[in-house]
Chain A
Amino acid sequence: MAAISHIDPKEALAVKARVEQLSFYYGDAQALNRVSLDLAERRITALIGASGCGKSTFLRCFNRLHDLYPESRYEGQILLKPDDINIISKAVDPLEVRLRIGMVFQKPNPFPKTIFENVAYGLKVRGVRDRHFIEERVEGALRQASLWAETRDRLQDSAMTLSGGQQQRLCIARALAPQPELLLLDEPTSALDPIATANIEELLSELKEQVTILIVTHNMQQAARVSDFTAFMHLGELVEFGDTDTVFTTPRQKKTEDYITGRYG
């Protein structure tokens, strides 16, 4: 792998997570092959690549969602800073990992509960009882997800009454309420219309002031618009990683160039 996968120290960015030689297997099928890269703190890192290249698999390693299904196997490590715990090690409880890392899915999946309950859910899971604190965090998270204005008067309505784009922002608020260290987004706009997509992209640019973001996207323009760093994956391997401008204007690898110029994928 010729890709230089670590962030240039000249930029003096803090690293939030360091992935080293990560391989992943579904049973006998290898889905990721020795991927190494760094996630810069308070920056957006985008994962691009054709369908089936392993980008979602990679993302889901970060909160151990693969552990829900039998016969999944990790190799290598993902070190979460600052305490350098290897979040894919068997010794680490997946629950602890999921409490530190938030995730937003491709299809908006709010719980069939009220808007308030959805956003407060992460606190409920953690056993937070303080009503005042919960209300504060719910408002904070809804504001962060720029959904407060639309929902402040209907917090007790079912989340299912929201539009698709609002539901996805609600899911972002739900992930943000417990103040995660890292936010994972798995093609968060692929089920949304262009206006809702634009809202979410704008939102992500604001959010990166506060949280490190890793986003998988099908849409190359989206990666170019919102991300600071881009990783291009192909058949389970990391082909190229660098700051977004460089990857899109002067890719080092032929495969990357072919992909971003639309020759395949």
Chain B
Amino acid sequence: MDLDLKGSKVAVTGGSRGIGKSIATLFAAEGCDVSICARGPETIEKTRAEIESHGVKSFGTALQGRDGEAVRTWTRDTCDAFGGLDVLVCSLSAGGGTNDERYWYRSFEIDLMSATRAVEEAYPHLKSSENAAILVVSSMAAAETFVSPMAYNSMKAALITWSKQLAEQFAPKGIRVNCLEPGPTMFPGSNWEMIKVARSRTYSGVLRQQPTRRMAEAEEIARSAVFLCSPAARWVTGATLRVDGGYTKGVQF
């Protein structure tokens, strides 16, 4: 099956590490121009080099996820640099954090508002695309109680509802909107890598619930993400796909 992505223009928020990076480089491997944004200029440079090694164009800006104007500017600059946009993936995240009040604001800005801001700026360009798609990266942690009550889980839940409503609103405009719920994912520099060492009991508790006793690799998440954004999934919109290797136990009817 051909994903039919070659030549597409893709923007991935937070595409310099982990799942976001894996999504960005997989799009590049499929022949797409890819733009990313993240905190670290060095990681952006490295990822851009990796993207360009597939013979496609890249774009990238170092920014703080809670700087709304910076996210908007990056989105506009990406569309300018690529001359349009076909796919927007919102994967920027503040990660987990304790339940302190400030973390709610941080999660709100970075996980939720960076997505809404990027979508707003991308919308006029997506509208003119032949194969427009938006993918919102939520989390399995939105669907089941997970670790502890914290802003992260709740903001990821908000993303699901929002993306479903977007899907309905954007469908007539030819823009598909889907949502992805990755389960625990291990990659170099992931929070799980830290938790495995620094909070080994939490880690082994989570691993015990994973039927295969391992976490996902970032690319295993990215493959589903890229599929949902590709023309091969053209009848899929308003869907929430959980990719967790069987971690969650609830039955979705």
- Bind each other: no
B interface residue numbers (CB < 8 A to A): none
